[in-house]
Amino acid sequence: MACDAPIGVFDSGLGGISVVREIRRDMPDERVLYFGDSANAPYGTKTPGQVRALSDAIVERFVRRGVKAVVIACNTATSASVNELRERYDIPIIGMEPALKVACDRGHGRRQRVIVAATPLTLRERKFAALMDRFKADHTIFPEPCPDLVSIVEDGGLDDHGRVMATLHGYFDRYDLHAIDAVVLGCTHFVFYRDYFRELLPDSAAVIDGNEGTVRHLGVVLESLGRLAPEGAGGGVELANSDRSARIAELSRTLLARPR
Ligand code: DGL
Q: Quick check: CB of 74 below 6 Å from ligand 1? A: yes
Mark the binding-site residues for substrate, compressed into ranges.
11-12, 43-44, 75-76, 188-189
Inter-residue contact 209 to 118 (CB < 8 Å): no
Q: Please say if the pLDDT value at position 1 is more than 90.
A: no
Read off the pTM. Answer: 0.97
pLDDT for res 260:
79
Nearest of 125, 108, 95 to residue 19 by alpha carbon: 95
Backbone angles phi, psi at 76, to 5 degrees: -65, -50
Same fold across 7-96+211-257 and 100-209: yes
Q: With 90 as the cut, is the pLDDT of residue 50 above it?
A: yes
**CB neighbourhood size of 90 (10 A):** 9
The torsion angles phi and psi of 10, rounded to 5 degrees, stand at: -140, 160
Q: Which residues contact 6 (CB under 8 A, 6 or more apart)?
A: 30, 31, 32, 33, 65, 66, 67, 68, 238
- Alpha-carbon gap, residue 42 to 217, rounded angstroms: 26
User: Ligand 1 centre from 57 Cα, in Å?
Assistant: 17
The verdict on domain 100-209 having CATH code 3.40.50.1860 is yes
206 bridge partner residues: 182
Q: What does the angle CA 148 – CA 150 – CA 156 come to, to the nearest 5 degrees?
A: 100
Residue 108 alpha carbon to ligand 1 centre in Å: 30
Please report the atom of ligand 1 found closest to the CA of residue 189: 1
**Which class is domain 7-96+211-257?**
alpha beta
The predicted-structure confidence for 171-218, as pLDDT tens digits, reads as follows 999 999 999 999 999 999 999 999 999 999 999 999 999 999 999 999
The C-alpha atoms of residue 144 and residue 142 are separated, in whole angstroms, by 6
How many other β-carbons are positioned within 10 Å of the β-carbon of residue 30?
A: 29
Q: What is the mean pLDDT of residues 157-168?
A: 98
| Domain ranges (residues) in the chain | 7-96+211-257, 100-209
Confidence band, pLDDT 50/70/90 cuts, at residue 82:
very high
Dist. CA 110 → ligand 1 center (Å): 31
Q: State percent of the chain over pLDDT 70.
A: 100
Mean pLDDT of the chain: 97
* Active-site amino acid positions: 74, 187
Cα–Cα distance for residue pair 56/52, rounded to 1 Å: 6
What residue type is 40 in one-letter code? N
Instruction: Tell me if 241 CB under 6 Å of ligand 1.
Output: no
